[in-house]
Structures are given as C-alpha cells and as structure tokens.
Amino acid sequence: MKPNDTKKPFLVFGAPLIEQPEIDEVTATLKSGWIGTGERVACFEQNMRQYKGAKYAAALNSCTSALHLSILAAGIKNGDEVITTAMTFCATVNAIVHAGARPVLADIDPVTMNIDPADVQRKITARTKAIVPVHFAGRPCDMDAIMDIAKERNLKVIEDCAHAIETTYKGRHVGTIGDFGCLSFYATKNIVTGEGGMVLAQNKKHIARIKTLGLHGMSADAWKRFSDKGYRHYYVLEAGFKYNMMDLQAAIGINQLRRIEKYWRRRRQVWGRYQDAFKHLPVTIPAEPEARTRHAYHLYTILIDKERAGLTRDEFLEAMTKNSIGVGVHYLSIPEHPYYQKTFGWKPRDFPNAMQIGRQTTSLPLSPKLTEDNVSYVIATVRKILGR
C-alpha cells in the first residue's frame, strides 16, 4: 500500500465527464485519416446552431480566440474603448487588448455578480464601441438594459457565454441576443472538447470574416481546399490567425452536446442540494435564478466573510484542500492583477462590489461527474470547517 492510499481520493475541481461515445468517435476520427478541420467540425457547428437557435456559427480553438475575432469582426479599431466587467476571467479583458482596443471596466451588481448596466452607462465615452457582458456562473446578464444602451449609443454587443451555453433570458438563448456569442469547451466548462470554442453570430458577413480571420486570413473557400472536389486555389485577404478547431475536438463536442441537458439537470440537482444545505450557515449563498431566465449552473459560489464565518476565504480554501476537495476562485477581480494596474492604472477599490466578492468567493465542486456521496462529503466538510 502506498502511503496516501489511506487518504480520501482528491475530488478534482471541474472534472469533465467523458463517456464511451466520444472515446469511440475520437478513435474513429484518428482511423479516418482526417483529424484536422473537416466534416465533424461542420456537424458540431450545425448541431450547436440548432441547440442555441443561432443563425451562424464558427468553431474555433478556444473561447479566447472567439472573443478576439468577434471584437475584430465588430470593426473595433486601435484606440476604441470596449466596456466589460471587473468580475471575469482574464481572457475576456486580454481579448480586448489583443484586438488593439482599450478595455474599460464596469463594476458588478453584488447580488447577481453580473455587469451593472448603470455603471456601463457611466463609463461610456465618445470612443466606446462595444460592450462585452459575461453571463457569470451561468446567470444571464440584464440583457434588456444592456441592449437598450447599445441601441441608443450604436454599440456592438459581444456576449461572453463561457459559463452559459444552456442559459436563456426571457425565452431567448444568451449568445443570440447581442451581435456575437462566444462559447468555451475548455476542460472545466459545461461541455468540453479539451480546448475549444465557438462564435455564434446573427450576421453572415460577421461569421465570414471570423472564418477568414481564424484560418490565416485565407478566403472562405480555403476551408474546403482539402475536400474531394479537387484542388482549389486560396487567396490571403488579410494577416489572420491560426484559430481553427480540429475534427478530433469536434468528435468529442458532438457527443458531449447530445448530453448537455442531462448534465445540466445533474448540476441543477447538486446546486439545489448545496442551497438547502448551506442556507443557515454563516456564509452568503448564491441568489436563486431570476424569473423568466434559465441559469446554466456552471459555478456554485459561496462568500466567506471573516467576521461572520470565523475564518478567512483563504483559510477556508486551505481547509477544503486538506480535506481532499478541489475548490476554485472565480475570480479575483480584474484590477487585483499587476498587469492591469500597471497598464491601465486600475485599482480594486474603484470597483468595490467586484473587489469584495473576489476576496470572499469560493467555488465548490459542481460537475455531472459528482456522485451523491461526493456531494454529501462536500456538504459535511463545509459544515465541519464552519463549525456547524
């Protein structure tokens, strides 16, 4: 027996559930001799378009690339300003920087943790060209307010749906309300391809530009250049990027997408068990989903305030890890990071809601892979650490 065999196996945070059909299809793809961008990618785009009710889709190698190309396709130029939330993953902000624009942050609503439309309104200048709302943890942003602002000021809207494939807002899928919707299939996301992303768009020209930019800037026909229709010349129209998705990745995604609702129902169950179990603990639990919306239940986060809980968030994280439970922090607010402080002069205290949540938040395991026993163990451990 190895020394740590007596220890409980570590519960990996955000572990994906990989099942036999995707394993078989990856094998079939490998054996087919066509592992690059081809029919399986086209099929994954088509199935996702149908699921989301989107007009057009382009599969890419990450949500970060999806955001980058959407911002470029939105016509954002050097010196333009793009407003996003102070409570997001760094990729949202970095994509704006890579597109040559200046990111401008808005604070969040402390209850929904989503971008506060009133603060967006305050941050608009003559240079503002777009808004990038993030449907945080899978909860939809206040899209009516955001779209009203966008229409009035003639701004593009690029929805970061990395947490929110299953999310709807007043009957519409998020990612189809603005001009662009960006999805992630990263290993910890709601469905996975390993690395992977997709852009949804409502405008044919936008998606054509994204397909061109995503494959070296070559004319759209280049996507077909290895088909059995014979050799086709391609022309480079601009200096593009290498952001295409492979059939090997789509082979996983197509099968994961078939189970998206099943996985969602399972996460909803776990989310509900946590809500019941933690409502009388000295921590802040998430707000229930709003009426006429569908939450994607990507993250389950509790806020640890030292005054109430008797320990700091970081002490809580450490205690969970010692008990073999993988936890996450989503996220330290963007202005906590040195690069943004140095480059844009941002200070955490200028975004007080995002700062406070970023310093108190803890994400508990929420994955369709969790068993009922795993969930019971997480609940018992949280209670034990909080002395209940």
Smallest distance, ligand PLP to C-beta of residue 79, A = 24
Smallest distance, ligand PLP to C-beta of residue 80, A = 20
Positive or negative: CA dihedral 346, 348, 351, 357: positive
Q: Using CB under 6 A, which of 186, 264, 297, 351 touches ligand PLP?
A: 186
Given the rule CB under 6 A, which of 49-57, 89-97, 258-266, 272-280 is the region that contacts ligand PLP? 89-97
- Compute φ and ψ for 168, nearest 5 degrees: -125, 155
Of 139 and 382, the one with the shorter C-beta distance to ligand PLP is 139
Alpha helices in 86-215 (DSSP H): 90-98, 117-123, 143-153, 204-214
Query: What string marks each residue from 21 to 60 as x (binds ligand PLP by CB under 6 A) or -?
Result: ----------------------------------------
Give the chain's end-to-end CA distance (angstroms, integer): 34
Sites for ligand PLP among residues 121-150 (CB under 6 A) = 134
Cβ–Cβ < 8 Å for 305, 64: no
Of 67 and 386, the one with the shorter C-beta distance to ligand PLP is 67
Of 245 and 355, the one with the shorter C-beta distance to ligand PLP is 245
Smallest distance, ligand PLP to C-beta of residue 355, A = 18
Smallest distance, ligand PLP to C-beta of residue 166, A = 15
Cβ–Cβ < 8 Å for 355, 348: yes
Tell me if 253 contacts ligand PLP by CB under 6 A.
Answer: no
Tell me if 197 contacts ligand PLP by CB under 6 A.
Answer: yes
Report the SS3 class of residue 166.
coil
Q: Using CB under 6 A, which of 25, 80, 81, 160 touches ligand PLP?
A: 160
For residues 130 and 321, give the distance between their C-alpha atoms in angstroms, rounded to a whole number.
40
- Compute φ and ψ for 312, nearest 5 degrees: -80, 165
Cβ–Cβ < 8 Å for 161, 210: no
Q: Using CB under 6 A, which of 76, 162, 325, 378 touches ligand PLP?
A: 162
For residues 160 and 158, give the distance between their C-alpha atoms in angstroms, rounded to a whole number.
6
∠ CA 318-322-324, rounded to 5°: 120
Smallest distance, ligand PLP to C-beta of residue 58, A = 14
Amino acid at 280: H
State the greatest distance between any 2 C-alpha atoms of the chain, in Å, as a whole number: 70
Of 160 and 247, the one with the shorter C-beta distance to ligand PLP is 160
For residues 348 and 375, give the distance between their C-alpha atoms in angstroms, rounded to a whole number.
34
Smallest distance, ligand PLP to C-beta of residue 63, A = 3
Smallest distance, ligand PLP to C-beta of residue 57, A = 15
Locate 309 and state its tokens: 């809980």
Of 11 and 132, the one with the shorter C-beta distance to ligand PLP is 132
Q: Is 2 a catalytic residue?
A: no
For residues 282 and 388, give the distance between their C-alpha atoms in angstroms, rounded to a whole number.
9
Provide the 10 A C-beta neighbour count for residue 319.
Answer: 17
Tell me if 92 contacts ligand PLP by CB under 6 A.
Answer: yes
Query: What string marks each residue from 54 to 73 as x (binds ligand PLP by CB under 6 A) or -?
Result: --------xxx---------
Given the rule CB under 6 A, which of 119-127, 158-166, 221-229, 258-266 is the region that contacts ligand PLP? 158-166
Given the rule CB under 6 A, which of 13-21, 37-45, 88-96, 115-123 is the region that contacts ligand PLP? 88-96
Q: Using CB under 6 A, which of 91, 141, 215, 245 touches ligand PLP?
A: 91
Cβ–Cβ < 8 Å for 204, 176: no
104, containing H or E segment: strand 102-106
One of 52, 156, 189, 211 is an active-site residue; which one? 189
**Among the listed residues 298, 292, 272, the one whose alpha carbon sits nearest the alpha carbon of residue 372:** 272
Kindly list the residues in this chain that would bind ligand PLP in the complex (CB under 6 A): 62-64, 88-89, 91-92, 134, 160, 162-163, 184, 186, 197
Q: Which positions are catalytic?
A: 189
